[in-house]
Each structure stands twice: as C-alpha cells, then as structure tokens.
Amino acid sequence: MAEATQSGDDHIVEMEGITKTFGEVVALEDVTFRLRRNEILALAGDNGAGKSTLIKCLAGALQPDSGTIRVDGEVVEIPNPRVSKDLGIETTFQDLAVAGNLTVTQNIFLGREAVSGPDTLFGVLDKPAMRKRAQELLDDLEIHVDVAEKVSNLSGGERQLVSISRTLLSDPKIVIMDEPTSALSVEGADRVLELIDRMQKQGISIVLISHNLDYIRRAADRIHVLHQGRSAGIIDATDFDQDEIVKRMVGGMPEEERDEQTADV
C-alpha cells in the first residue's frame, strides 16, 4: 500500500450526485464518489448496497439516471464499455471468466488480437508479437506462469492473475476490481493482493470491491462505505476500525456525521 496523493484537487475520478433506479427500486441515491490519483480505494458494503451498480456506471455497463462523472477533471458521458476503456478505465467484474481451453497469451489478447499485414481486419494473427507482449506484461507484474500454458491447467489464483493482467494490456489509468479474491485460497488471495500493490506502484489508480475486510485493511488507502444505495462515509486506512466499518455497512452513516455534512452544504 503506497502513500496516496492527498491533494483534494488531484482526483482522477469524481462521481457526484449519482442516482440509479430499476423500476421502483433505488439502487443508488445521490452518491458522491471520488478516486485520488495512484490510490487504492476500497468500496465496502453489504449485498445490495449498490457497489456493483456504482462501478458499472463508471465502466459503462450502466448509465446513471442523474449525476455527473468527471475523469481527469473533464465531465464525461460513458454510454458503453468501449468509451470507458477509451478513457483509460479497465474493469474486472466478479463474474468475468477466463477461457480455459485457450492459452494464457490467447486469454490476455482475447478480443484484442494483434494482426500483421496491411489489412488489420483480414490480416494474419501475429502470434509471436502477442507471446512477446504477454511475456513482457507478466514479467512486469512478476506473474510466473507459462504464456503457452492452457488456462485450464492453472490454479484458481493464477487464473485470477491472468484475468487481471489482461486489463493492463491497454496501459489503463484506472482499474476497477470487483471481488478479485472471491473463492480463492489464502495463498491465491495473497498473490492477488501482491499484484494490486505492484499495480499501484506502477501509477495505476485502483477501485477495489471486496467483502473481506481483512484484505481491504491490507490493501486500501481509504474505504468508502455504501449502505442501501447511499454513502455511509469514507474512512482512512490509518484509522481502520473493523467494528466501525461494519456498523456503517449495517446502519449507514452516523446521524451526527450526516447532520455535519448537511450543515456544510
């Protein structure tokens, strides 16, 4: 966990007043979410708190009903995942699966295959270039797997590392991780947390969604808590208090803190 930038003006992402409904169900209500440059910001909350809905608005998988999104200080609209990627945002969703019958290299380049020849649409797959780039990417991240190995032969932790590594193929500024340690062994989860730390040291800003508060404590610079679609406060990692986080996850923002925020408006 590196020291994150503390300047209030140095946010790479600012989401303000985000509201999203599904029929009569309010998934998000007037949420403000700010990610600093080169920080790991954890997003914590119980099931149904709105975590996945919020990051899907940033990833272009959903569009908010109202609110403003800024990336690098510029107001943006993100109507689809392609626009999100073009803004330098990559996402690994909880249900993102790797293709077990393909090699590590093929998984990393899946949907973004490199071709050679004058016609990029009907050119020949440049397999040597893809293997070389995949190896460079894994070496940079200190991921020790064979790029020619089929993913079905890898452990669960190694598969997750491959899944995360392919988000870095485009040199993103921001990576969103939805439960990256879910269903992993302790050893596998440790390797993923080590990878997250290395990514931050490379200058990437990270949004980490996790139910595991111990992993959040180990990885995050700050923790943004959501409760029933509303912000329940932001806690600095240096002030980490598991009981306080759980209290906010279950009961929302303390009334006195809410009153202070209302008075400041």
Q: Do the domain assignments include residue 114?
A: no
Q: Which residue, 96, 105, 104, 157, is CA-closest to 127?
A: 105
CA distances from 137 to 104, 124, 144 (A): 11, 22, 11
Q: Write down the mean pLDDT value for the chain.
A: 89
* pLDDT tens figures, 66-118: 999 999 999 999 999 999 999 999 998 765 568 889 999 999 998 888 887 66
Q: Which domain holds residue 253?
A: 11-96+173-264
Domain total for the chain? Answer: 1
Q: Is the pLDDT of residue 119 over 60?
A: no
Assign residue 90 the CATH number of its domain: 3.40.50.300
Q: Do the domain assignments include residue 220?
A: yes
3-state SS class at 142: coil
The span from the CA of 134 to the CA of 102, in Å, is 14
Q: Do the domain assignments include residue 83?
A: yes
Contact 10, 36 (CB under 8 A): yes
Q: Do the domain assignments include residue 6?
A: no
The span from the CA of 228 to the CA of 27, in Å, is 7
Q: Do the domain assignments include residue 47?
A: yes
The length of the chain, given as a count of residues = 265
pTM comes to: 0.86
Q: Do the domain assignments include residue 197?
A: yes
Q: Do the domain assignments include residue 120?
A: no
Q: Do the domain assignments include residue 78?
A: yes
Q: Which residue, 31, 14, 153, 123, is CA-closest to 70?
A: 14
* pLDDT tens figures, 127-171: 999 999 999 999 988 899 999 999 999 998 898 889 888 888 889
Task: Name the maximum alpha-carbon separation found in the chain.
Answer: 65
